[in-house]
A and B are shown apart, each in its own frame.
Chain A
Amino acid sequence: AIRMTQSPSSLSASTGDRVTITCRASQGISSYLAWYQQKPGKAPKLLIYAASTLQSGVPSRFSGSGSGTDFTLTISCLQSEDFATYYCQQYYSYPQLTFGGGTKVEIK
């Protein structure tokens, strides 16, 4: 199975900061990557699919990039509602879909 490794596992940032989260696949997955946001006690929410396509309704301060094995999720100007845990997911090697371990974005 393809392993997805996210870094960092957690970070502290302030409102207005630019935040970058990295996701690395154990083998090439082209652009078959999605990003989700999860707040405590809530369901995950789709942010980005196909590595860089923004899901409808998601603010444009979120962006994704990368292909092959290395991907990034960037929040250009962190807002209070963005403090959450973020997960990447590969769907290249379906049906065995796999998620990264998550990155928790906390208030500094």
Chain B
Amino acid sequence: EVQLVESGGGLVQPGGSLRLSCAASGFTFSSYSMNWVRQAPGKGLEWVSYISSSSSTIYYADSVKGRFTISRDNAKNSLYLQMNSLRAEDTAVYYCARAPNWNFVGWQDYWGQGTLVTVSS
């Protein structure tokens, strides 16, 4: 069974940093590209970032470019999102989500349960 479990969320002050993790199991993590998608409280979904299976291709939404860094450790079956210079508008539940193959930017076929990031003073 595919499982994605996010962690690392919490309360952080504006301008602060946070690192999210996503632990994957139930599939060959190194064979799939991954995404981060977020959802502000009571709002819709917003794609944040993408990383290919080998980390050779990385993309960011314009709203986070230059502040967030996506990475992965295939030996540890883990995905990460380093978030710096956080703003109130970054407050959201952050989901890690799997793409259906190794180098595909498109739909997401499995999602984790999400971790809440709150940016507030």
Which A residues have a C-beta under 8 Å from some C-beta of B?
A: 1, 32, 34, 36, 38, 42-46, 49, 55, 87, 89, 91, 94-102
Contacts and interface: CB of A to CB of B under 8 A. Distances in A.
Given A44-B111, A45-B111, A87 B106 contact: no
B47 A99 contact: yes
Nearest to A95: B59
A32 B106 contact: yes
Nearest to B111: A43
A49 B106 contact: yes
B44 A100 contact: yes
19 contacts: A34-B106, A34-B108, A36-B45, A43-B111, A43-B113, A43-B114, A44-B95, A44-B97, A44-B108, A46-B110, A49-B100, A49-B107, A87-B44, A87-B45, A95-B50, A95-B60, A96-B61, A96-B62, A97-B106
Interface residues of B, number: 23
Contacts of B59: 94-95
Nearest to A32: B106
4 closest residue pairs by CB, A with B: A95-B59, A34-B107, A43-B111, A94-B105
